Structure 1
Amino acid sequence: MKADLHVHTCLSPCADLLMIPPVVERASRDIQILGIVDHNSAKNVPAFLKMKKLVVPGIEIQTVEDVHVLGFFSDVESALKVTKIVYEHLPSVKHDHEKMGYQLFVDEEGNYTGYEDVPLGFPSDLTLSQAVELIRSYGGMPVYAHVEKRFGVLYQLGFFPDLEVPVAEVVSREGKENARKKNLRVIVTSDAHFPSDVGRRYIDVFGAPRSPEEVLKKILNSEYTLGGVLNW
């Protein structure tokens, strides 16, 4: 089963306003599993659960070091609990939607239901270590996001810290090789911010997982291959 585990919604200020459930479902075509994540929030995940896809709830936390770390969960409740804590560590300023991009809540039919005024595009004051521990404390699987790109751990820090992070999301052969040298499992995703990007890169998970928990177990057991538009 093909899985694209890094798909943003219209809640992320840098994502297209058409990243709503009906459009994402159509755009994903033969991708059967989608990881729905937004910057520092999982509040739009519930709206995507009724798609005819297996949805893995997630969040992309921006740490004080300006490193992005993904967290994937077996259930949406855990993702929302982590979101609540992350919000406590974001700047207490109101988001400027006109200048910095709209942050929109959406329902399952694709109707916009409100604005998020918490500034999701800002880094939290959580350290990378604290963010990883927060994800793990709610049963989540932390993943280093786009390690060799801006806000990736290699781009920002130049090395992989000695943390309990089992997986790295990569976009290049060099990133893949560096991650595997540290015995990290490697995944590829679209990191889609626009409908046309969904499914450009994916993992092909062995078998037929029926729940987010089973998907995450497959990844931890390296039961998948890499697919899509690879830069190597």
Structure 2
Amino acid sequence: MKMRLWTLFYCLFFGLTSLSQANTWTPSTSDENGKGSPAVCESSLISGLKCTGRYCDNVSLQCSESLQTEGRGEWSPSFSEENGPFICPNGEFVQSLACEGRYCDSVSVKCAGAPSVQENACYWRGQISEENGGAFEFGKGVYLKGLKCSGRYCDRLESYVCQTQAKVCDSDECRAEQARRFSPILKFDQEQATSQKCFPGNAADYWEARKNGDTRILCNESAASLEGGQIPIYYEYQDCSGDQTV
């Protein structure tokens, strides 16, 4: 078998450098429409919060620029001024908000993971209400992770936000996982006279063998890795900026 392999530089970029705030606001959710019409940031995270109306009962979200997210299907338990705050689990951020009860008294959120960023510093932001202008923009790369409310009918919302940074893939486990997920494939042709045939195999297996000190020429003699006339090809991994051409 004669392989024609092209050098591939497969750049996987995890970061905020190519992400800018879109500054778009969702329609408001309120007690009149409840969970049937929540405020949602689709394929992005929440970079600002504002409210209007009596007792701050119309809530709108500012959505970030498009960002890879992994949403969850369930709503959080409802919370209000009578109980404590709600904070999304580690690695997740608020993506949707809905409320029920008189003057939007009971609030629920949905969380979503953001695989391309990691949390840095997290802190409580000041309260918003209809009395103080009712809006906060958190800033670039700062996203809503939790909420708590106080005051009559939950009319003062306080935001728990996290600064984020690019997730750096610098561990053996992370690089092996990228090999499993993103190994490119090429079509191949066959030469009957070749005495020894080596099939490129799983990139993650190759990575593990080299990491463990195996210095032999690795020849995968099994055709089991072939699928539909295509084979995986090893690639060189490097992080690169969002505007780099490869």
Q: TM-score range by the shorter chain?
A: under 0.3
- Richer in helix (by share): 1
- Richer in strand (by share): 2
So what's the TM-score if we normalise by structure 2? 0.22
Larger radius of gyration: 2
So what's the TM-score if we normalise by structure 1? 0.23
